[in-house]
């Protein structure tokens, strides 16, 4: 009787451990390998977004941004940048009090964070002022950038200050590997500079 009970317990333990491994593998695949549906306004991806090493697309940028904004209610996106060959987005948002929160997003889901930055009152005030000055949000800036370099994909987009103006600065990569730097005035929506390097 004791041997039967011990055998049954050992069998359940092995089964439970195996299930845990399977669950972890399914969770890993869900984060790393799930295709992200493109937003209605995004252009169709050039390569499948779920492929290992696939480049980040405009739809992915919007999905990552929305996931980050949902993780910190009433926040404003100030920076989004691709990492790990486009499979991960590093995103910074600013809350209403000016606190910057950083997180990583993959496949439209927050996979790390959000983590609040340890900043002083001056830093928070600067964030609030920059966010308040910007009349274009990240999505409107992305639309302006994609109109300037229609065949490209945005790999980095930051709300910043430049010569007394609040601007959206971006890096855009075209299929031939050319890097374009596009700056959009965050108040007027005017493209203030566009340059490329091979």
pTM score of the predicted model: 0.70
Instruction: Calculate Rg over the CA atoms of the chain.
Output: 21
pLDDT score at 85: 81
pLDDT tens per residue across span 85-125: 888 999 999 999 999 999 999 999 999 999 999 999 999 99
Q: What angle do CA 139, 142, 144 make, to 5 degrees?
A: 115
- Displacement of CA 59 from its chain's centroid (Å): 11
Which strand (E) or helix (H) includes residue 100?
strand 100-106
- Position 62 confidence tier, pLDDT thresholds 50, 70, 90: very high
**CB-count exposure of residue 16 (10 Å: 0-12, 13-18, 19+):** exposed
List of domains in the chain = 58-197 (3.10.450.40)
The overall average pLDDT reported for the chain is: 78
Look at residue 197 in the predicted model and tell me its pLDDT.
Answer: 80
């Amino acid at each position: 009787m004791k041997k039967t009970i011990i055998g049954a317990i050992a069998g359940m333990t092995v089964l439970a451990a195996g299930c845990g491994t399977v669950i972890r593998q399914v969770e890993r695949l869900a984060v790393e390998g799930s295709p992200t549906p493109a937003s209605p306004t995004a252009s169709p991806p050039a390569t499948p977004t779920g492929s290992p090493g696939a480049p980040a697309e405009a739809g992915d940028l919007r999905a990552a941004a929305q996931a980050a904004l949902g993780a910190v209610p009433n926040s404003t996106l100030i920076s989004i940048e691709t990492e790990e060959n486009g499979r991960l987005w590093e995103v910074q948002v600013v809350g209403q009090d000016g606190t910057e929160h950083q997180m990583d997003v993959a496949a439209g889901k927050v996979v790390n964070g959000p983590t609040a930055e340890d900043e002083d009152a001056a830093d928070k005030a600067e964030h609030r002022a920059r966010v308040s000055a910007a009349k274009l949000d990240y999505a409107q800036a992305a639309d302006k950038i994609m109109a300037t370099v229609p065949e490209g994909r945005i790999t980095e987009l930051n709300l910043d200050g430049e010569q007394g103006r609040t601007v959206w600065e971006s890096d855009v990569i075209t299929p031939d590997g050319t890097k374009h730097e596009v700056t959009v005035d965050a108040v007027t929506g005017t493209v203030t500079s566009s340059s490329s390097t091979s």
